[in-house]
């Protein structure tokens, strides 16, 4: 993947023919026009009426609505781009220990035959214990499970979360998201889901202030004194951050 376009975050697809909309956390497309829908799953929901888990049918529903959104009316079906429906799960849905579960359509009479519809569903299992994954993915799992920053990749995630939590434009949305995740986790605990740290929490206000100061320095339109005042950092700390950025440039 050479490039990624961030199309929509927290997108809601609600076709006219149905009253059932869905919220897709992130939709991105790469330079080859492959589309990815990623959503965080903090609870393994079960329908009490049917006593069945909802995630498999949820993935099927997501795929259908995503395809409808990608194909304009009257366009031929072969214009549908490759898609990945990806659920980041903080539980092991299949309880087999795989880091990743990847699904494509295969012929039951000949398992070597794969239906080339270019639709893939993946369950990323942050509680996994085996399988081949990159170090970045493994560090991301550690971050989700324990909020441990171990690589540049998770440091970038942590810095971005820190910045978002301080940004007044998104503060209210972030608080609502935290409340939703907290409610889902509490519900999960009631049925035996292991308690973990809330996704999105940061180690402390200091990290958030530093992340904001770095962004303000990068913009180049704030004085060092203003940055220090707005982030509650000392002027010496801001000057040190500026020196570090200059060395990295």
Indicate the number of domains in the chain.
Answer: 1
Judge whether 75 lies within some domain.
yes
Highest mean pLDDT among 80-94, 164-178, 211-225: 80-94
Asked if residues 105 and 83 have their Cβ atoms less than 8 Å apart, the reply is no
Neighbours of 217 (CB within 10 A): 18
Per-residue pLDDT averaged across 160-170, rounded? 65
228 in a structural domain: no
Q: Say how far apart CA 169 and CA 160 lie, in whole Å.
A: 14
pLDDT band at 182 (very low <50, low <70, confident <90, very high): low
Q: Which residues contact 101 (CB under 8 A, 6 or more apart)?
A: 93, 94, 122, 123, 125
73 three-state secondary structure: coil
Residue 32 exposure: Cα atoms within 13 Å on the Cβ side: 7
Question: Is 211 within the bounds of a domain?
Answer: no
| 224 in a structural domain | no
111 or 24: whose pLDDT is higher? Answer: 111
Domain-located, residue 213: no
Q: Which residues contact 47 (CB under 8 A, 6 or more apart)?
A: 53, 54
Relative to beta strand 52-53, strand 46-47 is: antiparallel
Cβ-in-10-Å burial (0-12, 13-18, 19+) of 109 comes to: exposed
| Separation CA 39–CA 123 (nearest Å) | 10
> Which pLDDT belongs to residue 19?
35
How far is residue 241's CA from residue 248's CA, in Å, rounded to a whole number?
11
Quote the domain boundaries for residue 54. 1-133
Question: Which pLDDT belongs to residue 80?
Answer: 94
pTM over 0.85: no
Does residue 20 lie in a domain region?
yes
Residue 248 lies in a domain: no
Give a yes or no: residue 82 inside a domain: yes
Question: Is the confidence at residue 163, as pLDDT, over 80?
Answer: no
């Amino acid at each position: 993947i050479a490039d990624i376009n961030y199309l929509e975050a927290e997108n809601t697809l609600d076709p006219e023919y149905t009253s059932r909309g869905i919220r897709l956390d992130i939709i991105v497309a790469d330079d080859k026009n492959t589309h990815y829908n990623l959503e965080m799953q903090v609870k393994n929901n079960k329908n009490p009426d049917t006593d069945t888990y909802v995630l498999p049918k949820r993935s099927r529903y997501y795929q259908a609505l995503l395809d409808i959104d990608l194909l304009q009316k009257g366009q031929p079906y072969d214009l549908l781009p490759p898609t990945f429906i990806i659920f980041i799960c903080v539980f092991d849905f299949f309880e087999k220990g795989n880091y990743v579960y990847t699904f494509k359509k295969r012929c039951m009479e000949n398992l070597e035959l794969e239906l080339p519809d270019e639709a893939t569903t993946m369950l990323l299992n942050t509680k996994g214990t085996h399988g081949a994954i990159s170090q970045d993915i493994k560090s991301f799992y550690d971050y989700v499970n324990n909020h441990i920053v171990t690589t540049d990749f998770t440091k970038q995630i942590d810095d971005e979360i820190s910045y978002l939590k301080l940004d007044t434009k998104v503060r209210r949305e972030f608080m609502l998201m935290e409340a939703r995740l907290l409610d889902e986790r509490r519900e999960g605990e009631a049925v035996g889901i292991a308690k973990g740290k809330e996704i999105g929490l940061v180690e402390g206000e200091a990290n958030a202030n530093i992340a904001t100061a770095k962004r303000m320095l990068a913009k180049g339109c704030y004085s060092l004194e203003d940055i220090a005042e707005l982030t509650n950092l000392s002027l010496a700390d801001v000057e040190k951050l500026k020196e570090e950025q200059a060395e990295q440039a």
